[in-house]
Amino acid sequence: MNKYVEVLDSLVNDYESIDRPVFKDIKAVDLTNILDLKLTDQGCSLEVLHRSLKDFMDYSPDVSQTGFHKQLYSGVNEPALLGEWVASLTNSVMHTYKMGPVATLMELEVIRQLNKLVGFEKGEGIMVSGASQANLIAMMLARHRICPQLKKEGYQGRSLVAFVSDQAHYSMQRAANIIGIGENNLIAVNSDENGKMDPENLRFCIEKSIEQGKLPFFIGLTAGTTVIGSFDPVMPCNEIAKFYGLWLHIDGAWGAPILFSERYKDYLSGCDQADSFTWDAHKLMNVPLTAGVILTRETGQLKDCVAGGGGNYLFHQDENSAFNMGELSIQSARRADCLKLWSSWKSEGTQGYLKKIETLQNKKSYFVELLDKHPKFSIIAPSPFLNVLFQFKPSNQLHESELRALNVEICKLLAASGGAFIDYACFKGRTGIRAITCLRENFSATNFGNTAIPVPAHTASSWELKLHVSSHSSAPPVSSENHFAKGR
């Protein structure tokens, strides 16, 4: 194995030492012609394999750089990466305690600590591939509570209805499809000007579905929406859920780590009253992909909902059967993703994550302040969390369609330059540049780097604006047509 370790060491050294663009803007057809990715009858040498793996790194976006703001994750978390390597080395599997004894106990500890943050005193949970699967399981749990016979008998003519905000993640749409209620029975509740679900419109939608003879069963809130980072109001929506007897789920894939901070955790006030909760450690906690979690307020619900089969050869009843987490999962083979999350948390401690959240919020606030002071930038949506949606607006005479085209072009030019990889997004009919503040730099510091904003030639070719937020700066102490957000 030593020769492969030497290759890994070389690749890591290259990754850390070579100055490369954040993103190489190259078409798929062209990259296919550049790289030799063919699988052949005869194997290759280690040298050829090494070169191919280096190509993989060279042509992948560099999420570790300060110019990466495209997705809701970035940076390299070294302790978590170490855990990931060990998990791959041992190839532990998580369906039974015997196959993953230490991993099982690690996962249970991670779940216990996450439930403690949410306020689920008697809760349980399990790690999943990501928020998409966590939200799917939450909808399954809700369906099982209102119609437990569905697990064996199917719908038999029942028409179930779920409710989410028009800012909810598209995984809710897919969950509605997969569990068979149909996308048309996933109702997009209106959001207000701050991107939060409108409780009164939620109540109206529920009443309307009842009048139509349908069976409401699920309310899905979002903690940290994809575009602007809004938090749906938990307490008024919980009152509605309790009144109608509906399952209340919170998708905290992005915003859940706010709970580490005493200063900001009120964003999720009342979350302990929810029935289930999604958490993605591979986003703001910077754990390598993928590391999602589904948490429930009560124990026993996961097994009742998803368990079935495997008892004749896998899930034996013995002294460790209570630790066989495979019966809580819709997956059979499940890798030890807990190891990377546990390693990061063990290394940094809860206080490390607290400092990270509060530091990033300070940096975000400082960035917003810079934008506010600049005459050519306009913030076009609230920024309660770490998302900042803004427009470059060189003239007040430009129409919204022109501003959209201009800012989309700026994102493309930034990507092509290799200096910054950032995306555009739409909120309430206005399109802007979406900056995400979640870079892990020495864990508790971040900066936007020197981000040059190139202006397309047809607008003002002589302009090049720079915003700089250094990790050493003194920051203040402080939709698409189907209505669902398209990506995180």
484: pLDDT strictly greater than 70? no
Q: What are the pLDDT digits (tens) for 245-283?
A: 999 999 999 999 999 999 999 999 999 999 999 999 999
Higher pLDDT, 69 or 178: 178
Calculate what percentage of the chain has a pLDDT beyond 70: 90
* Cα-based angle 27, 425, 467 (whole degrees, multiple of 5): 90
Q: What is the pLDDT of residue 475?
A: 41
Band of pLDDT at residue 204, cut at 50, 70 and 90: very high
Band of pLDDT at residue 470, cut at 50, 70 and 90: very low
Alpha carbon distance 253, 368 (integer Å): 23
Q: What is the pLDDT of residue 75?
A: 85
Q: Which of 6-20, 121-135, 184-198 has the lowest mean pLDDT?
A: 6-20
Distance of alpha carbon 385 from its chain centroid, rounded?
14
Alpha carbon distance 435, 447 (integer Å): 12
What is the model's pTM? 0.92
Q: What is the pLDDT of residue 437?
A: 83
Would you call 445 helix, strand, or coil by DSSP? strand
Q: What are the pLDDT digits (tens) for 175-200?
A: 999 999 999 999 999 999 999 999 99
Q: What are the pLDDT digits (tens) for 278-303?
A: 999 999 999 999 999 999 999 999 99
> Which of 119, 348, 335, 345 has the alpha carbon at shortest distance from 235?
119
Band of pLDDT at residue 453, cut at 50, 70 and 90: low
Q: What is the pLDDT of residue 317?
A: 86
Q: What are the pLDDT digits (tens) for 343-358?
A: 999 999 999 999 999 9
457: pLDDT strictly greater than 60? no
Higher pLDDT, 454 or 239: 239
Band of pLDDT at residue 456, cut at 50, 70 and 90: low
Q: What is the pLDDT of residue 159?
A: 96
438: exposed, middle or buried (Cβ count in 10 Å: 0-12, 13-18, 19+): buried
Band of pLDDT at residue 310, cut at 50, 70 and 90: confident
Q: What are the pLDDT digits (tens) for 27-51?
A: 999 999 999 999 999 999 999 999 9
463: pLDDT strictly greater than 90? no
464: pLDDT strictly greater than 60? no
Calculate what percentage of the chain has a pLDDT beyond 90: 81
121: pLDDT strictly greater than 80? yes
Alpha carbon distance 184, 173 (integer Å): 9
Alpha carbon distance 158, 156 (integer Å): 6
Contact status, residue 131 vs residue 249, Cβ threshold 8 Å: no
Q: What are the pLDDT digits (tens) for 393-434?
A: 999 999 999 999 999 999 999 999 888 899 999 999 999 999
Q: Quick one: which H or E segment has residue 29?
A: helix 28-34
Q: What is the pLDDT of residue 67?
A: 87
Mean pLDDT of the residues in the chain: 90
Band of pLDDT at residue 480, cut at 50, 70 and 90: very low
β-bridge partners, 218: 162, 247
Q: What is the pLDDT of residue 419?
A: 84
Would you call 299 helix, strand, or coil by DSSP? coil
332: pLDDT strictly greater than 90? no
Q: What is the pLDDT of residue 151?
A: 94
Mean pLDDT value across residues 121-147: 97
Contact status, residue 214 vs residue 159, Cβ threshold 8 Å: yes
17: pLDDT strictly greater than 50? yes
Q: What are the pLDDT digits (tens) for 142-171?
A: 999 999 999 999 999 999 999 999 999 999
Structure token pair of residue 249: 């789920």
Q: What is the pLDDT of residue 439?
A: 59
Contact status, residue 144 vs residue 298, Cβ threshold 8 Å: no
Q: What is the pLDDT of residue 459?
A: 46
| C-alpha pair distances (Å), 316 with each of 29, 267, 312, 326 | 51, 43, 7, 12
461: pLDDT strictly greater than 80? no
